[in-house]
Amino acid sequence: SEMNKDLDYDVLIIGAGLSGIYSLYRMHQLGLRAKVLEAGGDVGGTWYWNRYPGARFDSESYSYNFSFSQELLDEWNWSEHFASQPETLRYCEFVCDKFNLRRDMQFNTRVTSAHFQDGANAWRLTDESGRQYTSRFLVTCIGILNNYTLPNIPGVSDFKGEAFHTARWPQEQVNFENKRVAIIGTGATGIQATQEIVKTVGHLTVFQRTPNWSLPLRNTKITPDEMEEIRSNYPDIFDKCSQTSSCFMHVADTRSTHSLTSEDREKFWNDLYEQRGFAKWLGNFGDIHTDKEANALFSEFVANKIRQRVTDPVTAETLIPKCHGFGTKRVPLESGYFEAYNRPNVRLVDVKKDPIECVTETGIRTRDENFDFDMIIYATGFDAVTGSFTAIDFKGVDGIQLSKQWSEGPRTHLGLFVEGFPNMMMVMGPHQMFGNIPRSIEYAVGWVARFIEFCRDNGITLAATSHQNVLDWTEHVHTCADGLLANEVDSWMTGVNKNLAHKQERIIARYQGPAPGYRKRAEDVAARKYADLTLM
Ligand code: NA7
């Protein structure tokens, strides 16, 4: 701190979601002067903003919490296998209270620019109100699904009824009773919201452009006894997560889909279908992610499940994806989503067949029909991954713009550093593992904290990655992506957002090699005492 005495802080952290919470905890442990700047009114990030009905974990609660503190594991009880948003938000608040973190968090503070100060080897951040903050290090904790997008349909602002994007859901209770409600979007969010809203809505119309391969979540309550058992299993759970490819508890089956008879395969898949969470996706045969024929076999298995659950055969076929294979996009998990379409007050509109032309003052007009609504819900997704970075004016050495560095897709070193952006580290930036995100967050924050400690202990005021490091890492990330069917489809994971003109081309946005391989490379850099970086 002595060497940063001309600066407001040693470390500035943008964002008070899980990444920012844990980053601040680690900075406190190092005794550094740190500050979190957060746009929202309180902690939680994703779990602060996404308050839409039905929002919950698709990953087991007890694999998706922090593992860094035994006390925290001892004190916190989950009430469901897949916690709802309010419970997860309470968890975030609990962590901040327990470790007294809010004292160094400033809410309602939207950072608009982050400029590196050449010569001073410092960062200067400016917020919406024009206030400025300086620090030696900058840690970005701005999330991968933060900046929401509305559909690029004319008239969105004309609608006179209630309208909400799921990622900016109001704090107050929203009532659906006796209302004619529209929802646009059938991703993980649209599916969660739909199955919840149908419980009370007057009439719901779902506007679907692309159907998704969704499978049962199989959520249940956790009894106190069960919670004690889970608690005693925590070491095993986290150990398993540390060994699997995308840090989940589920272990892929190494057999080839083709090595089983169709009967044995059917039995395996029927057993899998009964299991909780992502088991169906990640505990499946590994080759469904790379082998088109294997993938088609499982896709057909899932299609048949949908056919069994939806009464009207035309609706069932509309709900079955035809243009992408199972698991090539993020698999939404559901609880009664398909059965929702068996209700008389729920209607599915296929906008591929009957495109939306505009939003009107009173509803939505498609080519063939005019719909009146009291409420329109936009479950239309995010300017994902890089969008969190383009929302802030990042400038590095010599005023170079981050968007310029990434004009042909993100280029990073370890998903942590950007060329020309010294003293800045990204937690959950592009080119990191997006699997079980809290596990990736804990690892990345731990790495960053050890690195900042090293810099402090060695009097380093400038830490920069090199052009070659970035070339090598970016090439490695691209190599890891080779052969995965997920890279052959348009989705937020491949950087495509059809509502944004500049996001029509696919990119490699995330690290898709096995997570232990990622950690091995990152540990090697630390073991070499960060000699790969320029340190001054
Ligand atoms: P997603 O997965 O990006 O889904 C957005 C949905 O909205 C998807 O079905 C889109 O259809 C649809 N969409 C977007 N724009 C339009 C327009 N203009 N017209 C019709 N339909 C549209 O976002 P989510 O919020 O569901 O999930 C994001 C992640 O959060 C999720 O993967 C989890 O990790 C948590 P499309 O597929 O583009 O045809």
Strands 122-127 and 363-366: unpaired
- Residue 32 and residue 27: Cα distance in Å, rounded? 5
145 within ligand 1 shell (Cβ under 6 A): yes
Q: Is 259 exposed, middle or buried (0-12, 13-18, 19+ CB in 10 A)?
A: exposed
380 within ligand 1 shell (Cβ under 6 A): yes
Q: How much distance in Å is there from the Cα of 187 to the middle of ligand 1?
A: 5
- Closest residue (by CA) to atom 23 of ligand 1? 381
What would the pLDDT profile of 335-361 be if each residue is shown by its tens digit?
999 999 999 999 999 999 999 999 999
351 within ligand 1 shell (Cβ under 6 A): yes
Low-confidence ranges of the chain (pLDDT < 50): none
In the numeric block, the tokens 């990204």 are attached to: 426
Q: How much distance in Å is there from the Cα of 188 to the middle of ligand 1?
A: 8
| C-alpha distances out from residue 305 to 298, 336, 435, Å | 11, 12, 26
Ligand 1 closest atom vs CA 167 = 25
Q: What is the mean pLDDT of the chain?
A: 97
Number of H helices, E strands in the chain: 16, 20
Q: How much distance in Å is there from the Cα of 287 to the middle of ligand 1?
A: 26
Q: How much distance in Å is there from the Cα of 524 to the middle of ligand 1?
A: 38
pLDDT of residue 118: 96
- Residue 32 and residue 321: Cα distance in Å, rounded? 51
Q: How much distance in Å is there from the Cα of 534 to the middle of ligand 1?
A: 41
297 within ligand 1 shell (Cβ under 6 A): no
What would the pLDDT profile of 88-134 be if each residue is shown by its tens digit?
999 999 999 999 999 999 999 999 999 999 999 999 999 999 999 99
331 within ligand 1 shell (Cβ under 6 A): no
Q: How much distance in Å is there from the Cα of 454 to the middle of ligand 1?
A: 42
Look at residues 196, 203, 195, 159 and name the one whose alpha carbon lies nearest to residue 177. 203
Ligand 1 closest atom vs CA 378 = 7
- Closest residue (by CA) to atom 28 of ligand 1? 381
Inter-axis angle of helices 437-457 and 515-527, nearest 10:
0
- Residue 272 and residue 278: Cα distance in Å, rounded? 10
| C-alpha distances out from residue 138 to 13, 121, 349, 394, Å | 6, 11, 46, 11
184 within ligand 1 shell (Cβ under 6 A): yes
Look at residues 351, 380, 345 and name the one whose alpha carbon lies nearest to residue 364. 351
pLDDT of residue 355: 98
- Our mutation pick for probing the ligand 1 site, out of 334, 498, 500, 504, counting the most ligand atoms within 8 A of Cβ, is 498
> What's the distance, Cα to Cα, between the start and end of the chain in Å?
16
Q: What is the pTM of this model?
A: 0.98
pLDDT of residue 1: 61
Ligand 1 closest atom vs CA 151 = 18
498 within ligand 1 shell (Cβ under 6 A): yes
492 within ligand 1 shell (Cβ under 6 A): yes
- Residue 257 and residue 291: Cα distance in Å, rounded? 9
Q: How much distance in Å is there from the Cα of 189 to the middle of ligand 1?
A: 8
88 within ligand 1 shell (Cβ under 6 A): no
Look at residues 407, 410, 411 and name the one whose alpha carbon lies nearest to residue 470. 411
| C-alpha distances out from residue 180 to 110, 200, 315, 319, Å | 35, 11, 20, 22
- Residue 413 and residue 467: Cα distance in Å, rounded? 9
- Residue 132 and residue 134: Cα distance in Å, rounded? 7
Q: How much distance in Å is there from the Cα of 330 to the middle of ligand 1?
A: 11
State the CB neighbour count (10 A cutoff) for residue 70: 10
